[in-house]
Amino acid sequence: MANEVYAPLAGKIVKVSVEVGQQVEEDDEAMVIEAMKMETPVYLEFSGTVKEIRVKEGQQVEEEDVLAIVE
């Protein structure tokens, strides 16, 4: 089953912590978003394999944008 990783808040992606094909666990850090001059790690809600990453470091994202897909 494919699960979408959403941006919990708007900001700039400063770090992508996972790679396509990587095995990930729930609560792993997937990305780091910078907003209001503060870095906020985004943690995964589910375990699986990273199938797709839709953002790059430095990219601006809006709240609820899909950041990655985990299967």
The binding site for other proteins (CB under 8 A) comprises 8-10, 27, 35-38, 40-41, 43, 45, 63-64
d(CA 29, CA 6): 13
CA angle at 69 for the pair 65 and 71, rounded to the nearest 5°: 150
Least separation in angstroms between residue 45's CB and other proteins is: 7
Least separation in angstroms between residue 26's CB and other proteins is: 10
> Is residue 21 left, alpha or beta, with left meaning phi > 0 and alpha meaning psi from -120 to 50?
left
Least separation in angstroms between residue 43's CB and other proteins is: 5
Is the CB of 41 or the CB of 57 nearer to other proteins? 41
